[in-house]
Amino acid sequence: MLNSAPPPPRKATAEFDVAVIGAGVVGCAVFRALTLAGLSVILLERSADILDGASKGNSAILHTGFDAPPGSREVQMMQAGRRRYLAERALFGLPVLQTDAVLVAWSQEEAARLPAIIDKAHQNGVTDVRPIELDVLRHRMPTLASSPIAALSVPGEHIIDPWSSPLAYVLQAMAHGGVVQRLFDVDTAERLGGVWRLSAGTRAVDAGIVINCAGNYGDHVEALSRPSPFAIRPRKGQFVVFDKTAQRHVPTILLPVPTARTKGVVVCPTIFGNVLVGPTAEDQDDRGVATVERSTLKHLIDEAARMVPALADEPVNAIYAGLRPASDQKDYIIEAIPGRHWVTVAGIRSTGLTAALGIADHVTELVEEHFLPLRPLQDLIWPSLPNLAEHLPRDHERPGRGDIVCLCELVTRDEIVAALAGPLPAGNLGGLKRRTRAMMGRCQGFNCLAAVCEMAQDKLLEAPPLPGGTSLDV
Ligand SMILES: Cc1cc2nc3c(=O)[nH]c(=O)nc-3n(C[C@H](O)[C@H](O)[C@H](O)COP(=O)(O)OP(=O)(O)OC[C@H]3O[C@@H](n4cnc5c(N)ncnc54)[C@H](O)[C@@H]3O)c2cc1C
């Protein structure tokens, strides 16, 4: 049936220069870069908080790009993103855990693949990847099982806080006038008189340029503007998190010999003081739900204990799974569509935390090249993020701090109050957890959930789950 309603009025100018769809780590970084380039930008996110998609559940490794496909856009973006992160992180008070990595071959067949890995690393400009003697390896990681055949040293692979960094990008953009709309599920994109009108139900936003950063829904959002030339199929990664007592056994990132499809099961410290084992790589159709399976988790624990036997006696704190936004194309998809005033940023599957700032700079160049002159801002404001890293001073150590609400992770009442206030308060319990570490520890919120909910009551955009409802996801 023809729609007889009159078309909305044509607008010569848009409310915003740019609308970024999707507040994962990539969208947050793009939002920041374009705002700092002097444009008026709005960030639209369907969830009640930022980082509620792929970006909520990763391994948090700041990669060097040593094993990425040489010459790919991915390696360029990762290395540019890593450089920028390391150059700017101190201005935000963001932590880095300088662990480096060892890549260990456990069979002759794996050992035979090490020279090709060194070659690839050197092609990627990571020239300090080199073989390491087994006695040096044992000295570096005395807890390692006695059966390695050969190993490489991979300096520069580090661990970061996967949630505070994108939050810092958004807060800086907001301090310079960027606007964030959460619970804005873009369902229509219409081009009216040279302006994009993005709608979410009855609400609408007009912008001159759209940047699609929709992660696991990238092809759906693309299809709002044109038949999508790519398809997204999420690749699930399951993880096991060992208790803090386990970290003394894992001083560095322990990498396996990667396959063509996955980097394999990694054992690594987390910035929050735990040890992480995972992820798996399982293709699935569901874009929203990442389940964990008992048999897979048992396999991960067995693998961890095979490589680091002391982990067999360590308690497990948590389990979770993340969904990588994998596409049917080999490389990241980042392209401007000049006639449409649209930029696609899709298929940022396994390395987007590292690459985000590099991608953001590249998108900014595309916007300048194809669409708009930029007016980079001077005198930048650098919001300082509260420290959540275990190896640096935390709020609970501050003289005169009030009560501690989450006893497992030592989260103070003041930290929770602060996370529920400010320019971008937590929008849901997951967001509160990512801003404070509350509910992330041994009891997984069993002891503090009621107190946290009482504090958060009426402040969140999304109601906490009812008692007996589903467990919190990370
Ligand atoms: C298991 C696993 C391990 C990983 N390990 C690492 C690692 O160690 N190091 C590293 O650098 N990277 C790692 N990654 C990769 C990294 O997490 C991803 O590349 C990154 O999170 C992708 O971010 P994104 O912003 O593209 O997608 P997302 O985080 O999914 O963000 C997209 C956002 O768009 C929103 N959205 C979708 N549709 C709409 C719509 N119609 N309207 C409004 N909003 C919408 C979603 O709600 C979501 O918030 C890992 C990923 C996984 C899953």
201 and 73 share one domain: yes
Q: Are residues 43 and 56 in the same domain?
A: yes
Residue 131, pLDDT above cutoff 60: yes
For residue 407, what pLDDT is reported?
A: 97
Beta-carbon contacts of residue 73 (< 8 Å; ≥ 6 apart): 331, 332, 334
Nearest alpha-carbon partner for 64 in 56, 75, 72, 54:
75
Q: Which pLDDT band holds residue 14 (cuts at 50, 70, 90)?
A: confident
Q: Ligand 1 mean position to 24 CA, how many Å?
A: 5
Q: Report the 3 state secondary structure along 383-430.
A: CCCCCCCCCCCCHHHCCCCCCEEECCCCEEHHHHHHHCCCCCCCCCHH
Do 380 and 408 fall into the same domain?
Answer: no
In this prediction, residue 259 has a pLDDT band, given cuts at 50, 70 and 90, of: confident
pLDDT at 262: 73
Q: CB within 8 A of 425, min separation 6: which ones? A: 419, 459
The values of phi and psi at residue 279, to 5°, are: -95, 165
In this model, does residue 4 exceed pLDDT 80?
A: no
Measured in residues, the chain has a length of 474
pLDDT average, residue stretch 290-307: 96
Tokens of 96: 């880095």
In terms of domains, do 209 and 280 share one? Answer: no
Which CATH number do you get for residue 135? 3.30.9.10
Average the pLDDT over 218-247 and give the result.
97
Q: Which of 20, 26, 255 to mutate to test the pocket of ligand 1 (most atoms within 8 A of CB)?
A: 26
> Closest Cα partner for 272 from 100, 93, 408, 443?
408
Verify that 75 and 180 share a domain, yes or no: yes
Answer yes or no: do 85 and 7 share one domain: yes
Report residue 261's pLDDT band, with 50, 70 and 90 as the boundaries. Answer: low
Q: Which atom of ligand 1 is nearest to the CA of 22?
A: 34
Protein residue whose Cα sits closest to atom 16 of ligand 1: 352
pLDDT (tens digit per residue) in 173-187: 999 999 999 999 999
Q: By percentage, how much of the chain surpasses pLDDT 70? A: 95
Distance 436 CA to ligand 1 centre (A): 20
Mean pLDDT of 233-256: 97
Residue 468 lies in a domain: no
pLDDT at 406: 98
Q: How far is the CA of 198 from the centre of ligand 1 (A)?
A: 21
Q: Give strand ranges (E) for 170-233.
A: 179-181, 188-192, 195-200, 203-212
Instruction: Confirm whether 280 is domain-assigned.
Output: yes
Atom of ligand 1 at shortest range from CA of 200: 42
**Residue 464's pLDDT band (cuts 50, 70, 90):** confident
**pLDDT of amino acid 2:** 35
Distances, alpha carbon 292 to alpha carbons 131, 295, 318, 471, in Å? 36, 9, 11, 12
Mean per-residue pLDDT over the chain, rounded? 94
In a domain, 225, yes or no: yes
CA dist 366 to 71, 193, 228, 359, 457, Å? 19, 22, 20, 10, 43
**pLDDT at residue 298 above 70?**
yes
Q: Domain holding 351: CATH number?
A: 3.50.50.60
Please give the pLDDT value at position 472. Answer: 38
Alpha helices in 93-236 (DSSP H): 108-111, 114-123, 134-140, 164-175, 218-222
pLDDT exceeds cutoff 50 at 7: no
What average pLDDT does the segment 176-202 reach? 97
How would residue 264 be classed by pLDDT, with cut points 50, 70 and 90? confident
Query: pLDDT tier at 13 (50, 70, 90 boundaries)?
Result: low
Residue 124 covered by a domain: yes
- At 131, give phi and psi (nearest 5°): -65, 150
In the listed set 340, 364, 385, which residue is the last one of a domain according to the structure?
385
Confidence of residue 12 (pLDDT cuts 50, 70, 90): very low
Examine residue 381 and state whether it is found in any structural domain, yes or no: yes
Among candidate residues 336, 356, 385, the one where a domain is terminated: 385
Ligand 1, atom 26: closest residue by C-alpha: 215
- Index of the ligand 1 atom closest to the CA of residue 184: 43
Residue 339 pLDDT > 50, yes or no? yes
Q: How far is the CA of 296 from the centre of ligand 1 (A)?
A: 22
145 to 25, 133, 276, 306: CA distances (angstroms): 36, 15, 17, 7
pLDDT tens, position by position, 399-458: 999 999 999 999 999 999 999 999 999 999 999 999 999 999 999 999 999 999 999 989
Write the residue with the smallest CA distance to atom 12 of ligand 1. 351
Are residues 376 and 332 part of one domain? Answer: yes
Per-residue pLDDT at 463: 83
Q: Are residues 39 and 123 in the same domain?
A: no
What is the per-residue pLDDT across 352-389, written as a single tens digit (0 to 9) for each? 999 999 999 999 999 999 999 999 999 999 999 999 99
What count of other Cβ atoms lies within 10 Å of the Cβ of residue 9? 7
When pLDDT is cut at 50, 70 and 90, the band that residue 1 belongs to is: very low
pLDDT mean over 288-312: 96
Are residue 320 and residue 254 in the same domain, yes or no? Answer: yes
Residue 3 clears pLDDT 50, i.e. is over it: no
Q: What is the mean pLDDT of residues 179-202?
A: 97
466 domain-assigned: no
pLDDT at 260 over 80: no
Separation of CA 69 and ligand 1 centre (Å): 20
Residue from 127, 198, 157 nearest 59 by CA:
157
Q: Within this chain, do residues 58 and 172 fall inside the same structural domain, yes or no?
A: yes
Q: What is the mean pLDDT of residues 291-300?
A: 96
Percent of the chain with pLDDT over 90: 91
pLDDT for 137 equals 97
Beta bridge partners, 196, equal 191, 207
Q: Are residues 80 and 167 in the same domain?
A: yes
For residues 248 and 252, give the distance between their C-alpha atoms in angstroms, rounded to a whole number.
10
For helices 164-175 and 73-92, the axis angle rounded to 10 degrees is 70
Total tally of structural domains belonging to the chain = 3
Pocket of ligand 1 (CB under 6 A): 21-27, 44-47, 52-55, 57-61, 63, 184-186, 213-217, 221, 237, 279, 322-325, 348-354
Domain termination residue (choose one: 385, 408, 430): 385
Confidence class for position 152, pLDDT limits 50, 70, 90 = very high
Q: Give the Å distance between the CA of 220 and the centre of ligand 1.
A: 15
| 53 Cα: distance to centroid of ligand 1 (angstroms) | 5
- Please give the distance, rounded to the nearest whole angstrom, from the Cα atom of residue 7 to the centre of ligand 1: 35
268 and 148, same domain (yes or no): yes
Q: Residue 96: pLDDT above 50?
A: yes
Q: Is residue 471 part of a domain?
A: no
Q: Which of 42, 50, 51, 59 has the most ligand 1 atoms within 8 A of CB, as the residue to mutate?
A: 59
Report yes or no on 469 lying in a domain.
no
| Amino acid 159: pLDDT | 98
Mean pLDDT, residues 53-73 = 97
Containing structural domain, residue 148: 101-155+233-324
